[in-house]
Amino acid sequence: MLIGIDLGTTNSLAAVFRDGAPQLVPNALGHVLTPSAVSAGDGDAMIVGLAARERLSTHPLRTATAFKRWMGTDHLVQLGDRSFRPEELSALVLRSLKADAESFLGEPVHEAVITVPAYFNQAQRQATKTAGELAGLRVERLLNEPTAAGLAYGLQERSDHSTFLVVDLGGGTFDVSVLEYFDGVVQVRASAGDTRLGGEDFAGVLERLFVQRSELPPSEAIRRSGALWRVAEQAKRELSDRHEALMRLVHEERVYEATVTRADFEQAAGELVQRLRRPIERALMDARLQAGELGEVVLVGGATRMPIVRQTIARLFQRLPLRTINPDETIARGAAIQAALKSRDAAVDEIVLTDVMPYSLGVIVSERINGRQVSDRFSPIIERNNPVPISRVGNYCSVADNQRVLKLDIRQGESPIGSENLHLGLLEIELTPKPAGEADVDVRFTYDANGLLVVDVRETSTGRTVNTVIRQNDALDETQVRDALARLEALKVHPRDEQRNRYLLERAKRLYEERLGDERAAIQHWIGQFELALDSQDRRVVDEAAEQFEKALASLDHGFVY
């Protein structure tokens, strides 16, 4: 059975195509969203999903979230005394989804279509594939997230309009893509975004509003406990449906309260809302399109549930965007549709955006402006959204008389200020001494589909050359994959039927840490009662106790799906 998976930064979910439509797979807690969170428990035990998300407050050093940001890099994530590669953590999430799908379908699952952001490069795509492999899934196909969104809305079947814009505001990232469909082929024409803008930032705005209004003392302990974030997150969700939310936090036996209206929130979030515009304008410009030429604008990502986000997009385009499907479920549905098309051999073909270099690549230079030398300018050699492989040359000259060396600081990014772009490498070449401006070099950048950037520098007068290869990825080789598999096999992931109990206990512990006094005593008592029930090992007793436990916890806080 082939399933579709949206492996998200904040939440992941699986969907299957059954009875002619995509169906979302519920996890062991009955939720369709599984937080992309992993926590190291005692010994070899690993905790995944909502229970792990709860441990972010109680065991911050043993818990990881947002590891999708590290995919395709060698960054190791430390959980307690062990470290993990990002693809290993993703594999644990995928395994959990695989087990949920198997339980839902009643049959083994070995293959998946997994979605990735359109801007993911080869290294990030390869890491996603490896994560699948480590989870025991053959990755039948990696599908671009915006393409999946388009499939979920059936855009490929429309003949009237062929160009669409997908706006995806998730927990921590904002992605905008322009898609073009023709003859069953979809092409990502342009993609832009802000990797540091998402629903989390909006919760941050509410945290600050609450602190101001409730006069909650600034305390490291509160911040660390995550209690403030939780209050803010809850209010943010309420404000998507209502015009007012009461925010309430108990700290050292004092109650702090503040009422926030939607208008307050939207005003305070004004700067974040402004930041939505630029990537949209950029994507349209790169695709050489006017807003009016778009067939449809599609909203995905949980954070587009915020009315202000929808309104801003609607105003920008002078029309209502499509959002009839739950925005946090759209991509998984699209992945399941792709899976179904695949098994029927009627796949929608995709021209993958890896064929495009999503960032500009260049060097830092100093420039003469109005007779003065200005340093730290960015000079792009390969501009973003160009098809790869690509090779381009820039010509640069000395700025001082008898300059002996030319230092090239190679950067990736879109800022005019050189140092604000990502540093990729350094290269030096000796120059033949000449008057300023007369010694010159050709700098050739060659970028290929594997994420390899070759920089060749040649002094034009002598033909002297130097070069360097900048590798953006370090994919695991076969032996490393085998080792990682063995390592993961040795970990004990909680069996599916115990996940709910695990979650309840983690949630209770988190609440215990947050609260004081009578509430603490009550929580302690509930935990004791629940542990007694667990000891009975009687399924019915445990289930009944779990239900009561959950109700009791719910009387103290909202347990929401992240």
**Shortest gap between Cβ of 554 and ligand ADP (angstroms)?**
18
Nearer to ligand ADP, 4 or 301 (CB): 301
Nearer to ligand ADP, 200 or 456 (CB): 200
* 194: three-class secondary structure by DSSP: strand
User: Is residue 9 involved in binding ligand ADP (CB under 6 A)?
Assistant: yes
Closest CA to 429 of 463, 401, 400, 452: 463
Determine the interface stretch with ligand ADP among 229-237, 265-273, 471-479, 511-519 (rule: CB under 6 A): 229-237
Map residues 27-56 to x or -, x wherever contact with ligand ADP holds by CB under 6 A.
------------------------------
Determine the interface stretch with Mg ion among 110-118, 163-171, 366-374, 430-438 (rule: CB under 5 A): 163-171
The alpha carbon of residue 525 and the mean position of all alpha carbons in its chain are separated, in whole angstroms, by 39
Tokens of 130: 């490896």
Strand 349-351 relative to strand 185-194, pairing: parallel
Tokens of 254: 């004092």
Residue 232 host element (H or E): helix 227-241
CA dist., res. 158 & res. 315, Å (int): 24
* Whether 233 is catalytic: no
Tokens of 363: 């060097």
Q: What residue number has its CB nearest to ligand ADP? A: 199
Nearer to ligand ADP, 251 or 262 (CB): 262
Nearer to Mg ion, 172 or 418 (CB): 172
Number of residues that bind ligand ADP (CB under 6 A): 20
Q: Yes or no: say if 187 and 385 are a contact pair by the CB < 8 Å rule.
A: no
* Whether 98 is catalytic: no
**Shortest gap between Cβ of 523 and Mg ion (angstroms)?**
34
Determine the interface stretch with ligand ADP among 73-81, 134-142, 194-202, 281-289 (rule: CB under 6 A): 194-202
Please choose which of ligand ADP, Mg ion, none residue 240 contacts, taking the beta carbon within 5 to 8 angstroms, the exact cut-off set by kind: ligand ADP
The amino acid at residue 493 is: V
Map residues 297-326 to x or -, x wherever contact with ligand ADP holds by CB under 6 A.
----xxx-xx--------------------
Nearer to Mg ion, 280 or 508 (CB): 280
Nearer to Mg ion, 116 or 356 (CB): 116
CA distances from 70 to 47, 86, 88, 128 (A): 20, 6, 11, 11
The amino acid at residue 287 is: A
Which one of residues 4, 170, 226, 334 is an interface residue with ligand ADP (CB under 6 A)? Answer: 170
Give the relative orientation of helices 499-514 and 517-536 as an angle to the nearest 10 degrees. Answer: 160
Please choose which of ligand ADP, Mg ion, none residue 146 contacts, taking the beta carbon within 5 to 8 angstroms, the exact cut-off set by kind: none
User: Is residue 117 involved in binding Mg ion (CB under 5 A)?
Assistant: no
Nearer to ligand ADP, 178 or 332 (CB): 332
Q: Yes or no: say if 523 and 512 are a contact pair by the CB < 8 Å rule.
A: yes
User: Is residue 328 involved in binding ligand ADP (CB under 6 A)?
Assistant: yes
Nearer to ligand ADP, 336 or 545 (CB): 336
- Residue linked to tokens 């990537």: 279
The amino acid at residue 125 is: R
**DSSP, residue by residue, 47-94:** EETHHHHHHHHH-GGGEEE-GGGGTTS-PPEEETTEEE-HHHHHHHHH
Which one of residues 22, 49, 170, 172 is an interface residue with Mg ion (CB under 5 A)? Answer: 170
* Whether 538 is catalytic: no
DSSP character for 407? E
Q: Which of 88, 100, 133, 168 is catalytic?
A: 168
Which one of residues 236, 262, 333, 502 is an interface residue with ligand ADP (CB under 6 A)? Answer: 236
Map residues 429-448 to x or -, x wherever contact with Mg ion holds by CB under 5 A.
--------------------
Backbone phi and psi for residue 467, each to the nearest 5 degrees, phi listed first: -150, 165
CA dist., res. 144 & res. 123, Å (int): 15
**Shortest gap between Cβ of 490 and ligand ADP (angstroms)?**
28
Q: Yes or no: say if 489 and 225 are a contact pair by the CB < 8 Å rule.
A: no
Nearer to ligand ADP, 168 or 456 (CB): 168
Number of residues that bind Mg ion (CB under 5 A): 2
CA distances from 540 to 30, 103, 536, 551 (A): 18, 20, 10, 17
Map residues 479-518 to x or -, x wherever contact with ligand ADP holds by CB under 6 A.
----------------------------------------
Q: Yes or no: say if 284 and 291 are a contact pair by the CB < 8 Å rule.
A: yes
Q: Yes or no: say if 211 and 379 are a contact pair by the CB < 8 Å rule.
A: no
Determine the interface stretch with ligand ADP among 2-10, 18-26, 46-54, 188-196 (rule: CB under 6 A): 2-10
The alpha carbon of residue 59 and the mean position of all alpha carbons in its chain are separated, in whole angstroms, by 22
Binding to Mg ion (CB under 5 A) within 277-316 occurs at none
**CB under 8 Å to 211, separation ≥6 — which residues?**
218, 228
User: Is residue 8 involved in binding Mg ion (CB under 5 A)?
Assistant: yes
**CB under 8 Å to 315, separation ≥6 — which residues?**
none
CA dihedral sign, ordered 235, 97, 87, 191? negative
* Whether 44 is catalytic: no
Tokens of 72: 């395709």
**Shortest gap between Cβ of 493 and ligand ADP (angstroms)?**
21
User: Is residue 450 involved in binding ligand ADP (CB under 6 A)?
Assistant: no
Q: Which of 88, 133, 140, 145 is catalytic?
A: 145
Binding site for Mg ion (CB under 5 A): 8, 170
- Active site members: 6, 68, 145, 168
Binding site for ligand ADP (CB under 6 A): 8-11, 170-172, 198-200, 233, 236-237, 240, 301-303, 305-306, 328
